[in-house]
Structures are given as C-alpha cells and as structure tokens.
Chains A and B, each alone.
Chain A
Amino acid sequence: MSRRNDVRDAMLAAVPSLRAFAISLCGNIDRADDLVQETLLRAWANLGSFQPGTNMSAWLFTILRNLFRSEYRKRRREVEDAEGSYAESLTSLPDQNSRLEIGEFREALKMLPPEQRESLILVGASGFSYEEAAQICGCAVGTIKSRVNRARTRLAEILSIDSASDFGPDRETRAVVNSS
C-alpha cells in the first residue's frame, strides 16, 4: 500500500504547520493539538474525497479551519479565558528582546477580526498563495487580498509602526496594546 504510505507521510509533514495555524486560531496549545488530531482523523476517514495530486496541506488546513469554526461558536468564551497556556508552551527564543517583541505582536494579532487574522497567517506565515488561502477559507481571491491588506494596516496601527526600525517593545506601543 505505497499510496497510503505517501498519504501518511504527507499528513505528518503537514502537522507542524497545522499546529502553528491551529494555535494562531485558538490560542491554546492543548486545544490546538486536539484540533490537529481531529483534523487527521477526519482526513483519514475521508481520504476518498481527497484528489491525489492536489495539495494535501491545503486540504488539511481546510478541514482544520472548518472544525475550528464549528467548535469556536460553541466555545467562544472558554477560549478567551484560556490563552495563558500558549506562551508557556513555547520553546525559548534566542533573546529576551525578541521574545518580548513576539509577545506584543501576538497580542496585536488577537485584536484583529478572525477573518483578517487567519487570512494574514495563511498567506504571511503558512506560505499559501492567495488562491490557496481563498480555497481554504471558501471565499474569493480578492476577499483574501483585501483581508490581508486590512490586517497589515491594522497591525501597523496597533503597534504604531512608522518604519521598520520603529518596531519593538516600548512604552507607548505597550500602552496601546494594553489599552484594549
């Protein structure tokens, strides 16, 4: 069954990125891993609907996103209460400064509307094309482009970025982030 081995390998190869995406959606490592597990189970049970030769990773992301959205509506409040464990779950970063910076960046991301956040992450971090991100989110390519643009603009505003050198932890940025 070499085809099934290929499928299994492709699924495993997608796991690290699926987890990163899941954490960006739900903000909690344990829930993210449960989401990834559920995604893999669904995918395995529905392998018949996967078209060989198409993008396995995009297919898995689509399943994960749909699972999250149906779960999210049920658990919205709970999720917002549980964000503390995310930072704890992370491996250490090269230096304290970039750790601080990342913490602030993550806080800023949370302030974006969910559709903008997921679009920005799919395109800017997961490495999907606008077309693939549109497929995953079930919307038009133009919608993704517009969400990504608005997300970037909003982030720049929240973090008060005036130029690349103006990015980082400082009193005023923190005041803006903490004020919401």
Chain B
Amino acid sequence: MNRSGPSQRKTKADVRGSETVVKLGPDIKAKIGQQLRLMYSEVVDQGVPERFVEMLKRLDEATDEGIEE
C-alpha cells in the first residue's frame, strides 16, 4: 500500500475527534458505501429464517380462527 510517512498520519490523528470538517471526496463516500452494503449483505444474504415464516403463518391462522367469516 502506498502511503506517506508518519507525519501525514499525525495530521490525520490531530483531526480525529475534533469538530474539524474534513472534505470527503466522492471516492471515499463510494468506498464507505461499498463497505456498508457489504456488511449489510452478509446478513441479508441469509434470507428469511424459518422461524419467521412459521410465526407469520401461525399469526395468520390465529387471525382466521378469530374471525368468523
């Protein structure tokens, strides 16, 4: 990874935790967005666990029994 020396790191660390507004380029926003979606999709890709399918089915049936149609 191409990085500059420790002096630049230090500047970054100084900024951290303060209210200094850092101008974010579109590439950084894109990278954060990509990481967010990757993290999120780890869970989304698991689909719908069976317990929720079963639970809604039972709720639906219970509602049927509660309503005289």
Checking B16, B25, B37, B46 against A157 with a beta-carbon cut-off of 8 angstroms, the contacting residue is: B16
Which partner residue on chain A sits nearest B47 by CB separation?
A16
Interface size on A, residues (CB 8 A): 51
In the complex, chain B residues whose CB is within 8 Å of the CB of A170: 1, 3
Distance in Å: Cβ of B4 to nearest Cβ of chain A: 9
- Cβ of A24 under 8 Å from chain B: yes
Q: Is A93 in contact with B42, judged by CB distance below 8 angstroms? A: yes
Checking B9, B13, B15, B28 against A164 with a beta-carbon cut-off of 8 angstroms, the contacting residue is: B28
Interface size on B, residues (CB 8 A): 45
Which partner residue on chain B sits nearest A153 by CB separation?
B22
Interface string of A100-127 (1 = CB under 8 A from B): 0110011001000000000011001110
Which partner residue on chain A sits nearest B4 by CB separation?
A162
Which partner residue on chain A sits nearest B48 by CB separation?
A15
In the complex, chain A residues whose CB is within 8 Å of the CB of B40: 17, 20, 24, 121, 125-126
Distance in Å: Cβ of B3 to nearest Cβ of chain A: 7
Distance in Å: Cβ of B18 to nearest Cβ of chain A: 9
Which partner residue on chain B sits nearest A13 by CB separation?
B48
Q: Is B59 in contact with A105, judged by CB distance below 8 angstroms? A: no
Interface string of B20-42 (1 = CB under 8 A from A): 01101101111111011111111
- Cβ of A37 under 8 Å from chain B: yes
Interface string of A56-95 (1 = CB under 8 A from B): 0000000000000000000000000000000000110100
- A selection of 21 A-B contacts at a CB cut-off of 8 Å is A8-B60, A15-B52, A16-B45, A19-B44, A20-B41, A24-B40, A40-B52, A40-B55, A102-B38, A102-B39, A102-B42, A124-B33, A124-B36, A124-B37, A125-B36, A152-B24, A155-B32, A158-B16, A162-B8, A170-B3, A176-B16
Please report A residues at the B interface, Cβ cutoff 8 Å.
1, 4-5, 8, 11-12, 15-17, 19-20, 23-24, 33, 36-37, 40-41, 44, 90-91, 93, 98, 101-102, 105-106, 109, 120-121, 124-126, 152-153, 155-158, 160-168, 170, 172, 176
